[in-house]
Each structure stands twice: as C-alpha cells, then as structure tokens.
Amino acid sequence: MENIQAFLDYLQFEKNYSKHTIQSYKTDLLQFYQFVQDTYQCNLETLHYNQIRTYMVTLANQQVSNRSINRKLSAFKTFYKFLLKIEVIHENPLAKHQSLKIPKRVNIPFSIEEINQVIENISKREEKGFSLLRDKIVILLLYSTGIRRDELINLQINDIDFIQKTIRVVGKRNKERIIPLLDRLAEELQLYIKERIQKETPLKNLLITDKGKKIYGTFVYRVINYYFSAVTTKVKKSPHILRHAFATHLVNEGAEINAVKELLGHASLASTQVYVNSNLKRIKEMYNQAHPRSKKKRDL
C-alpha cells in the first residue's frame, strides 16, 4: 500500500497528472490489490504475469470491456515502471504485455448545420436569463475553441483577454496554450460576464451554476445532450463530440494539421491524425475529381 501511495504522489507532484487520472489509477490499483490479496495472499510487488492475466480473465468474465481492461492494464504498467525506477522490483511483469484488441470507435462529429441550429434555437427562446446565456457560452466555447471539458470547467474570468482577443487554457499536465477568440464569441462572452459578475459568489471561475457553484463534468454533458438531442439523431452527444467537430471542420476548410494540433493541445501529431482520417472520404472525392488520370477526367 505504501508503494501505491508513493506512486500516486509521483504522478501528482512529479508528472503533473490530472486529479481525474490519478483518481482513476488509484481506484484501479486498489481493486487490483484487493483481488491479489484475496486470491494469492501476496503483494503487487511479487506478482508474475500469469497471475495478472488471471485478473484480466476475471474482469472479462464479469463482462468488463476490452477497452476498460486495457485502461486498467495501462495504469498497472505505469505503476510497475515506477517500481522499477525506485528499484523496488527488477523486472516489469507487464513489459511484454500486448493490449487486447478492441473495435475501432468512430465518433461522428456534429455537422455545421446542427451546431448552427442549436445556437439559433437558444437565441430564439422567449425566456431569457442567466441559465440560457451560460448554456450558450458552454456550447460556443467548446465548438469555437476546441477545448476539453475539464479545461472548460476550470476557465477563470481573467483567462480571457478581450484586448488581444485570446483565451488562456490550462490543459493536461498543467500545460498552457493561448487560443484566438473569434469576434462573435468575444461579444457573447462580454454579454455573459455582465450577468455573471452579478452573481454573489467568491469563485473566479468563468462558468458557474444557477446557485453560483462551479460547474462540473456531468453538468456540461447534460447541457450538450439536452440541446443537441433536439436537432440530431447521432447516438453520441457529448462535449468531446463538439471538440471533434471543431477539429474536423477546421481540417475540412483547409487548416494545417500542425496548427490544429496546437489549438487542441495535443502532445503528438498522431493524436490529431484522427481528424484527417475522418476527412478521408472528402479527400478521395477531390482526388478523383482533380487527378489527370482519374476515370472521371478521362470520360470528359
């Protein structure tokens, strides 16, 4: 147990992992530790791969998805790498482990028409007030900047620079990035902040609930799901799909992928590549239309 706590401290203070990630790792490791205690009456530091594999099989028998099992094993791998680093163990039992195969998950972004329809529906509502204005800002910020849900939640009022037309975002591992602010979004934000500062709350967060509390993950998800359920039949309606739409629409309009990478705050280009792949059909159509050797050209 001491090594688990030392590992969590290492993630927090040396690696700057997010609170959410650290909590997930803690939950996974404690569940794993309990299984090992009940099954083998030993500690995590003395396990062999076959014993860990038994835990994987147990999870699979409990109908835990391969994706979730892979996530847990990723946490365990990182834990054992840490134990190697501090010389508690001399061999990582998961060093040669291969992730379980999972079906590729395709997230279909909202269309420009769907997003415009949601904004229009909010603007047309007869009832006005703080809640409606805030919900509109939630949607506009996610789509116009491509920020993550947690980044949105933690935005401070002073992160917005109306003179430079920029917004400062603190991303994963406390990495900061500056994102340009569209003129129309800046105007909407100024209207919102006028209402926001009238709320009696010591919080400096930009986005708050009707009761003046900090918004939270489920709150943001409910906002997106509520408004987009009225305009789309897409199965997944979440903050991440708006981020996905932001990147996909930029790529569709010809934005350089490296620029999109910087806006999204991705550490590597591989993470951004998915948005190019989602545009592959359009690229193929353009290629067939434009290339001198395409059949369509030869038929002319």
Bridge partners of 178, per DSSP, are 168
- % residues pLDDT > 90 (the chain): 69
Domains belonging to the chain, first-starting first, are 2-85 (1.10.150), 112-236 (1.10.443.10)
Q: List, edge to edge, every strand of the sheet that includes 160-161.
A: 160-161, 166-170, 176-180
Q: Which of 26, 199, 234, 240 is catalytic?
A: 240
pTM over 0.85: no
For 34-50, what is each residue's pLDDT tens digit? 999 999 999 999 999 99
172 is catalytic: yes
Q: Which of 136, 148, 149, 249 is catalytic?
A: 148
Task: For residues 151 and 187, give the distance between their C-alpha atoms in angstroms, rounded to a whole number.
Answer: 21
Task: Report the pLDDT value the prediction gives residue 223, as an integer from 0 to 100.
Answer: 97
Nearest to 159 by CA among 176, 174, 143: 176
48 is catalytic: no
pLDDT of 275 strictly over 80? no
CA trace torsion 85, 89, 91, 95 (10° rounding): -60
Task: Report the pLDDT value the prediction gives residue 132, as an integer from 0 to 100.
Answer: 94
Tokens matching residue 122: 């909010």
Q: Which of 26, 77, 172, 199 is catalytic?
A: 172
Q: How many other CB atoms are found less than 10 A from the CB of residue 146?
A: 22
Tokens 């061999």 — which residue?
91
Tokens matching residue 172: 């994963």
71 is catalytic: no
Task: Report the pLDDT value the prediction gives residue 9, as an integer from 0 to 100.
Answer: 95
- % residues pLDDT > 70 (the chain): 90
Average pLDDT of the residues in 216-220: 95
240 is catalytic: yes
- Lowest mean per-residue pLDDT among 117-126, 163-172, 266-275, 289-298: 289-298
pLDDT of 175 strictly over 60? yes
Q: Which of 81, 214, 234, 266 is catalytic?
A: 266
Confidence band, pLDDT 50/70/90 cuts, at residue 18: confident
Largest CA distance in the chain: 76
For 234-267, what is each residue's pLDDT tens digit? 888 999 999 999 999 998 888 888 888 999 988 8
pLDDT of 182 strictly over 50? yes
Q: What amino acid is encoded at 116 in this protein?
A: N
Task: For residues 245 and 113, give the distance between their C-alpha atoms in angstroms, rounded to a whole number.
Answer: 11
What is the pLDDT of the chain when averaged over all its residues?
A: 89
For 94-150, what is each residue's pLDDT tens digit? 998 988 888 766 678 899 999 999 999 999 987 778 999 999 999 999 999 999 999
Classify residue 21 by burial, with Cβ atoms within 10 Å: 0-12, 13-18, 19+. middle
